Amino acid sequence: MSDPLVIPCPHCNGLNRLPAARLGDAPKCGRCKQDVLLSQPFELSEANYASQIKGDLPLLIDVWADWCGPCKSFAPTFEQAARQLSGRCRLAKLDSEANRNLAGQLGIRSIPSLILFKNGREVSRQAGAFPLQSLLEWLRSQGV
């Protein structure tokens, strides 16, 4: 039997230990009882960033802003990716205007920007919006 995966709850930031074989069973958070794995992106902020990047599942962050046209046109693609990747990768959206300090800390120079974290470390990033198939291929090339 493999070791359980540690996955932060997107709602309360509580850490959950889940057997990999049970990820498809809609696991609930031990603290807040809400779904741990979502089929849609969750909101990332300065308040939950540190806890959310620590999980054993990869975390893909879409850095965006409300005034950004390409960001708005990319949003449905990112939501489709979240549905397809549920249980393999968690997807989050970071509003760069509401979280300027964090966007600066992450070195955001253009939006939309995608940042992939594994085990608390940034492993790759891409700038710009692209089609779903290209996004999925990029993630596959990163081992997701």
Query: Is 4 a member of any domain?
Result: no
Query: Is 111 a member of any domain?
Result: yes
Query: Is 14 a member of any domain?
Result: no
pLDDT in tens, 20-33: 888 889 999 999 99
**3-state SS class at 1:** coil
Query: Is 22 a member of any domain?
Result: no
Catalytic entry in 12, 29, 32, 68: 68
pLDDT tens series, the chain, 144 aa: 568 999 999 999 999 999 988 888 999 999 999 999 999 999 999 999 999 999 999 999 999 999 999 999 999 999 999 999 999 999 999 999 999 999 999 999 999 999 999 999 999 999 999 999 999 999 999 999
9 is catalytic: no
89 is catalytic: no
Query: Is 1 a member of any domain?
Result: no
pLDDT in tens, 117-139: 999 999 999 999 999 999 999 99
Query: Is 120 a member of any domain?
Result: yes
- Looking at the structure of the chain, the number of domains it has is 1
Catalytic entry in 9, 29, 71, 89: 71
Give the containing element (helix H, strand E) for 49: helix 49-52
Query: Is 51 a member of any domain?
Result: yes
Query: Is 83 a member of any domain?
Result: yes
Quote the domain boundaries for residue 100: 39-141
Query: Do 12 and 31 contact (CB within 8 A), yes or no?
Result: yes
Provide the CB-side half-sphere exposure for 15 (13 A, CA): 10
CATH of the domain at 81: 3.40.30.10
Answer whether 0.85 is exceeded by the pTM: yes
Which residues have CB under 8 Å from 3's CB, separation 6+? Answer: none
Average pLDDT score, the chain: 95
